[in-house]
Every structure is written in C-alpha cells, then in structure tokens.
Amino acid sequence: MLRLLSHQGRRTRSCLGGQRRYEHHQSIVAIRREDINPWERRAPLAPRHVKELTNVGHKVLVQPSNRRAIHEKYYEKVGAVVQEDISEASLIIGVKRPPEEKIIPRKTYAFFSHTIKAQEANMGLLDDLLKKEVRLIDYEKMVDPNGFRIVAFGQWAGVAGMINILHGLGLRFLALGHHTPFMHIGMAHNYRNVSQAIQAVRDCGYEISTGLMPKSIGRVTFCFTGTGNVSKGAQDIINELPVEYVEPHELKDVSETGDMTKVYATVLSRHHHLMRKSDGIYDPLEYENHPELYTSNFRTSVAPYTTCLINGIYWDPHTPRLLRRLDAQKLIRPIKPSSASTVGCPELPHKLLAICDISADTGGSIEFMTECTTIDKPFCMYDANQHIDHDSVEGSGILMCSIDNLPAQLPIEATEYFGDRLWPYIWEMLPSDATRPLEDEEFSPQVRDAVITSNGKLTPKFEYIEKLRERREQAQIMKKGGMKRVLLLGSGYVSGPVIEYLTRDPGTQVTVASVMLKQAEELAATYPNTIPVMLNVTSQEGHLDSLVKEHELVISMLPYGFHPLIAKQCIKRKVNMVTASYLSPALKELQQSVEAAGITIVNEMGLDPGIDHMLAMECIHQAKADGCTVESYSSFCGGLPAPECSDNPLRYKFSWSPYGVLLNTVSPAIFLQDNQLVSIPAGGSLMDYADTMDFLPGFNLEGFPNRDSTTYAEPYGIQAAHTLIRGTLRFKGYAKAMSGFVKLNLINSECCPLLDPTAPPVSWKQLLCKQMGLSASISHDAFEEAVYERIGKDNFRMDTLRWFGMLSEDVVPQAESVLAALAKHLEAKLSFDSGERDIVIMRNDVGLRHPTGELETKHISMVVYGDPSGFSAMAKTVGYPAAIAARMVLDGEITTKGLVVPMTKDIYGPALKRLKEEGIHFTSTSTLQD
C-alpha cells in the first residue's frame, strides 16, 4: 500500500523540460466547478500543481465550490484566482462533463466526456461541443504507445471499489445469518483519508487471522479480472488482509480445503479463460485482431469457486462476456446443505455472493449489469431467475456494486494522483487556441490523439462515433416489423399533438429527431411506439439522410428555412413530407424534382397557414357553387394568453417561437384595401398600422397586416376582390408597447459582439446607451430622459420598459444579436406559468355578391382554449392539422404528387371534419346588405 501513498511529487519534477518548452506562453487556464453529480468532489489539479503554473507566470482561475474536497483557500494560497467567471481562460479543465448550457464556445476543454462509444446519454453534449466549436481533449483517450491510459483515476477506483465491496460482503453475510469481521469496514467515503480505511481493513484482517470467520461459510475467495491500474488498486486493499494468491486453476482446491484464517485471491489474465471457439486454444495475436472468434470459460472454470468477483476489464462489443444471465442462473442454484449446517450456523446458499464491477460498463462483460449503482445506493441484489434488481442486501441472488464514479469517494488522494498524471501534458495544452486549426498546435501524440472535437467537427480518428449513433438508431427504429414509420423533426410546443394523434394507431411508429434530446425523450416516455433521436439538421446532413431513408413520411415542425434542405433529402429517398409552414419560394423551385420523384409534400397544414386556408376555401367554393362573386376577403388570427393570464404590458405570452414573434414586428406587409395596394416597408412601420378589431368586443383585440396578402388572390380564385388582407391578432396595447422596442432598435438581428458569451456582462442601461449613441456613464435621470425622447414621449411605452427591467442595471442575456437577447429576456418574463392557458382566435370575413345583387358577408370564427393540464391551444391548432394530413398521406387519402396545399375539397373536407372531432370547432354567421 505504500506505493499508493508515496507517489506524490514524482511526476511534477519529471516534466520541467516540458515546462521550459512552453514557458514563453503566458496562458490562462481555468479549473471549472464540478456540478453534474453531488458526490463529485475531485479536481483535475491539486494546489501544488497550480503553484508550479503560477510560479512561471500563468494565470489560474478556480471556480468557487463548497463541494470541492480541497478548500479553495489552498488554491488561493498558491496564487490562483478564485472567481465565478472563467470566460477569459483559453483552456478549461475539469473531471466530469459540464452541463451543455455552461459550455463556453471556442474554448479548449479537457474532461471525461464518455462519448467515445456513442453513449446515448452524452450525445447531446457532443452535439453542443460541435455546435460551439469547442476543442475537446478527452482524458480517456490519452494513451501511451502500447494503448494504456496515462491520465486516469483507475487505481483509486480500484481502491474505493474494493473497500466498498468488503463493506458489502459484511452486510450480505449478515443478511445470510453470519457476523463477520467485514462488518467493521465502512464505505470508502466514510473515512477522512485512505489511511483510515486501510487501518479498518487491517483490523478486519487481524480478526480473520485469529479464526473469527464463521466456519459454516467456508473459505472466502476473491477473483480479480485484469492486470491494469484498477485491478492493482483493488489488490492493494486486499493485501492488507491475510491473503494468499493462487493460480485460477487452484481456486477450486483452496475453496474446499484452504486455511480458514486467511482469504484467497486469484488474478485472471486473458490466457486463463479465453479460448478459440473452434479448438479451445488461446492465441494472443489472433485475439487482438479477431476477438469474435473467442469465448470465455470463466463461468465454469473460475466463477463456481469465487466468493467475490472484482471486475476491472475494459469490454468491447466484439469481445466475449465474462458472465451472462444464464450463467448467473446456474451459479445461484442452491447448494444442498451438509449435515453440519444448522439453523444457527447455516451454510451459504451458493458460492458466488458478490460482484464489484469497477468497470461500470453497463451491459458489458457482466451482461446482466444493466444499470450502475450509486454512492448513496451502492448495492442491489440481482435475481437471475426473475432477471430483476432490487435495492437490498437481502433475498436471493448476487450482491452487485457498480458505482461509476468510485474515485469521488476518496477525492483528495484521487485529485493528487490524477494531477500527477495530467501534469506532464498540461504545458502543451496551455497554449491551445480552439479557433486555430488542430494541425497548427504543437501537441504530442498523447494529446493530439485524445482530441475528439475541434473547429466544429469530429476529428478523423473519432468520426466513427457518428456511424455508431446511426447504427444504434437504425436498429431501434427497425426493431418492430410491419410498422408505418414517421420521422418527426422537432420536439417543441406542437409536437405532442402530432405524436399523440399518429400513435393512436398501434401500427404507426414515430421517431422524434431533435437537437433537444431531453425533450424528445420526454415525448417518447409519454407516447407508445415513439423513439427519441438526437439530430442537428444544419450540421448532420448525412445523419438526416440516413433517418429519412428509414421512414415512409417526414413531418417537419422546424422553422421554414430548413424545409428546402429536408425536402431535398425526401426527394433523394422518395419519401413523402408534411409541414405546417408557408410554401416558400425556395420550396417552389423544387416542384419539378418533387413530381419527378413521385412524392407528395404537403405544406401550410397548420393554423395560419392551414386552418385559415381550409375555412376560406370551403366558404369560397360553396359561394361559387351558389353563383356568388367574392368581393372581399379578410382573415385575422392570433395565439394569445387567455384574458385572465394577460397581465403584462404586452398583453402577451409565448406559446410559439419568441424570436419569430419579435422579428414579425419589423417585417414588411402588402395588402389590398378598396382596390388600393398598400405596401408597408420593413423596419418597424408595421406596428403603426395596428387597428381595433371589434368582432368579439369582449376580447379588446387589435390587428395588423401579415406578409403579402395579395399572393393568395390567385390560389383562392378571388382575383376580382377589391379587398384582400390577412393579419395578426393581439390584445390592445401590444402594438404600442412593441413599437417602443422598435424605436430603440432592439428588434435588430445583426451580430452584436457586445453580447457574445465570451464578452463581459452588459446591463440593459449600457446596451440602450450603445443603441442610442450615448455614453454609458450618463446619469440615470439623463438616460431615462433620452429614452423617453426616443420612444416619442409615450408614458405607456416607458412603463413597459420599466416593467421588463430594461431601464435598470439588470444584465442582458448573452446572445448573438440584440434581437436574440431580447427574445431570451421576454421569454423568461412572459412564459406560461403552471395552470395558465392560452387561446387561439381566428376570424375570416368573406364578402359575397349574389346573382341578385345582394351583398352578404360570411363571418367564420374559431376560438380554441388551451388545456392547462394538456395541450395548449396553439399546439392543438398547429399540431392536429399536420397530424391529420400525415395520416391522410400514410393511408393513401392524399395521392396528388408534387407540392400540395390544403385548398382542395379532397383535403380540406376530411381535415375540417376530423378537426371538429378533436374539439376544434368553427361558427359561421352572415350579415346581409342590399
């Protein structure tokens, strides 16, 4: 055990040459706070390592953390700066992965990412690293020329794991009716340091050596798999017991006739248990290249004579497993008790009592270890007969311990140990600049080969990760045969109704692909036959292609700008598509390609556009059938908070994209009014055209034009109409409040370096001063006076800014643009609270001239409320139309090839009927004039 306690300090002195090589760089490195797991108290460097860095002029930032085992005062004492903001560092190091939202773009990070096997839980992290152009150095891939890891906690995982399982054995023996010396050993984290733990193990060993182990339990035997640091660390602990090591083939004999005043151990190497399936021979060179040709005889040659297995071997899907469920069933078959067994001195039910899987490789070499245990719940019993785990040390089965962060139980020693191994390479990592090409860095092979992401891409060595992800997803998607497979792109507000509607049919399977994997997983947990997948369509076009290929239909609920890209993939793979967005010019250019591919792409199948089209065409077609002429058409629609939830200056809350809602306020608009073409330029004039809408007086509504209304004259077949306008509804006051933002140039989508995540925090006052060309040091009264002047001396607009905290020193959210920052700010202020509901209001007014000369105006209204415990009104009115169209395409009801909009009776007829079945109702009244 002395080698564990005396390693400190050796490595620091050995790397001075590396230090001198890089000392001309005065770099800034940050030690980030560990915040993923409450037990994580380690750090990547100890204070003595930090001292070496600060002594040669490097700046070391340490994020404060009361959880860190080494107090921050020791870091401050050696020259580190303890502060929250670490954005000035070019290199940020930690132990475990950071949360995605805390990753700073274009930095070099070093931590254990657990992504090299395409671990599903960490694919969101990987995508975020790529999106933010982070250079990731993964400690797990820092290896020597022989492929052995050089920067790891392995030895301390072995130490902690062995202490834990000795404690667990004490509990398991007690549950089986035996008090043993193991009861005096606690969990590793219960000791102040490893020396105290070692003393407890020694005390246990003393009692064993004096014959205090119950005779009826027989000899206790341990099997260690592997010969690496994990196994060595575990052996360091058992060496404090009276232990005798034997060869694996000798374990059977000592388990039956060995000395009861000692324990026995064996170390299992590959040649002990691996053999070629064809002839039982082990060829090490062949095994390295073709492990699939081999099997393991561990289950029959060693396991039946092992009391406790300590597993520390790395497992690859191509290599044989140590134990399978069937093996476990055989190993826990009850042993017939001998005549010496009594009620007070029972014999053990079977030999194999416990497994400590330090590798923590779920579904790996121990096939039935499918979920890791935790430090606070370290043990479970695996019942192989029922194939279930239960949190206990009692009952039948094998005691399992498979904690995946064992070194965190001994955080001080683990930090010192890990820092010594990282130390020789920290010097070359310090000058890393994530904005430079990777090939420009002076990295050693040990560091270069551990870089997983750089410059927004997977490095060549790790491009396989994307293929692993795709293969896993493909297997999951294709698992059930005979299903109609739908790929849903997007997991936001409106995806729930789409999935709910489609999966009512047990023969339909939906794959939800989203950059927000957690959202997709929540949807998959809620609805049957739903599979979550991580996908960023902007950076993973190949992945998108492979997903499209596996499905019969694609539904895109992404912003309309993505639809041409998605449509091209659908054309390539001859897969139908449905969207709820406008048919854009870019999509129209694909008309011939869509027809040539023989596919259907249904567009504008949502609320607005969507339901508005269908209600309009139902009315217009009937009017024409009655011989009428359409003289005017007006359609206004809005998604709003229910009146009782509208208590804010904008009288608005977000149930849709905040960015899109704000951007719409500075968009251009064109409409026809009494044969006069009205054109509103982009830039903010739109809000000046807001007008009172009194068709439902109790709602106190206003409306303003939306986009180019005149483009619908031809598809609606109403070219002779003198008035044609489509617009947006809001509660009165919205336009005036929003125009204040416009006048202050806050609806600005241009890049704003001032708000970049790497820039210092900026207050709203500072930002507004910049927007108005004022000095940030201006007095507050003068500042407010300038704002008042800029917004037209309007008290309501001024009160609006105060209500949102935008005249204060409150910090502006960091974002790419002022508009994006405002969207984040308003979304935080104007999101729906629990129990609140929204409302969607639509009104179509169609002026009809009858053959008799009589003028009739049809008033078609729709009012839909959201369900506080279910779907919002917006989700229902956008999601259900898209889902209905998808079902019609899947079932062959829509057969037209090419670009389709819901303006023909064969589509709007069935669709409107089915919307009514979903609780979306429409009313129609008429006003007659002579």
* Residue 382 tokens, joined: 């695996």
What amino acid is encoded at 426 in this protein?
Answer: I
What is the DSSP secondary structure assignment for residue 227, as one 8-state letter?
Answer: S
With b for 16 or more beta-carbon neighbours within 10 A and e for fewer, the 622-642 pattern comes to ebeeeebebbbbbbbbbbbbb
DSSP string, 108-163: EEEEE---TT--GGGHHHHHHHHHTT-EEE-GGG-B-TTS-BSS--HHHHHHHHHH
Q: Rounded to the nearest 10 degrees, what angle do helices 563-573 and 541-549 cross at? A: 50
Residue 571 host element (H or E): helix 563-573
Helix axes 495-502 and 517-526, enclosed angle (nearest 10) = 30
Distance (Å, whole) CA 89 – CA 60? 8
Q: What angle do CA 891, 896, 901 make, to 5 degrees?
A: 100
Judging by DSSP bridges, how do beta strands 855-865 and 838-849 pair with one another? antiparallel
How far lies 321's CA from each of 288, 291, 302, 304, 831, in Å? 15, 11, 14, 16, 51
In angstroms, the CA 844 to CA 613 distance is 10
- Assess whether 608 carries a catalytic annotation: yes
Q: How far apart are CA 124 and CA 140, in angstroms?
A: 19
Q: How far apart are the first and last CA of the chain?
A: 104
How is the chain split among helix, strand and coil, in percent rounded to 5? 40, 20, 40
For strands 108-112 and 135-137, give the pairing.
parallel
φ, ψ of residue 763 in degrees (nearest 5): -85, 165
Active-site residue, selected from the candidate residues 128, 420, 608, 612: 608
Q: In 3D, which of 822, 770, 778 has the Cα closest to residue 801?
A: 822
Q: Where are the beta strands (DSSP E) in 255-306?
A: 263-268, 274-276, 294-296
Radius of gyration (C-alpha) of the chain in whole angstroms: 34
Question: Which residues have a catalytic role annotated?
Answer: 608
